[in-house]
Amino acid sequence: MKLGVISDTHGGLDDTVQALEELKDAGKILHIGDVLYHGPRNDLPASYNPKALAELLKARNNIIYIRGNCDADVDQMVIEHDLSKKSDVITFDGYRFYLVHGYEETEEERIEQAKALGCHVVISGHTHVKVLEKKDGIIVLNPGSTTIPKDGSRSYAYYENDEIILWDMDRHQAIKKIKLNQ
- Checking if the pLDDT of 182 tops 90, the result is no
pLDDT band of 39, cuts 50, 70, 90: confident
Q: What is the mean pLDDT of the chain?
A: 96
pLDDT band of 148, cuts 50, 70, 90: very high
In eight-state DSSP terms, residue 8 is -
- Checking if the pLDDT of 35 tops 80, the result is yes
What's the confidence (pLDDT) of residue 1?
Answer: 86
What's the confidence (pLDDT) of residue 157?
Answer: 98
Smallest CA-to-CA distance from 142 within 1, 8, 2 is with 8
Residue-number span of the structural domain to which 19 is assigned: 2-179
CATH number at residue 107: 3.60.21.10
Total structural domains within the chain: 1
Residue type, position 108, single letter:
E
pLDDT band of 96, cuts 50, 70, 90: very high
CB 7 within 8 A of CB 141: no
Q: Is the pTM of this model over 0.95?
A: yes
pLDDT band of 159, cuts 50, 70, 90: very high
- Checking if the pLDDT of 43 tops 90, the result is no
One-character DSSP codes across 16-84: HHHHHHHTTTEEEEEE-S--S---TTSPPPTTB-HHHHHHHHHT--SEEE---TT--HHHHHHHTS---
pLDDT band of 173, cuts 50, 70, 90: very high
Q: Among 33-42, 87-96, 130-139, name the one with the lowest average pLDDT.
A: 33-42
Q: What is the tens place of the pLDDT at every residue in 105-116?
A: 999 999 999 999
Q: What is the tens place of the pLDDT at every residue in 116-133?
A: 999 999 999 999 999 999
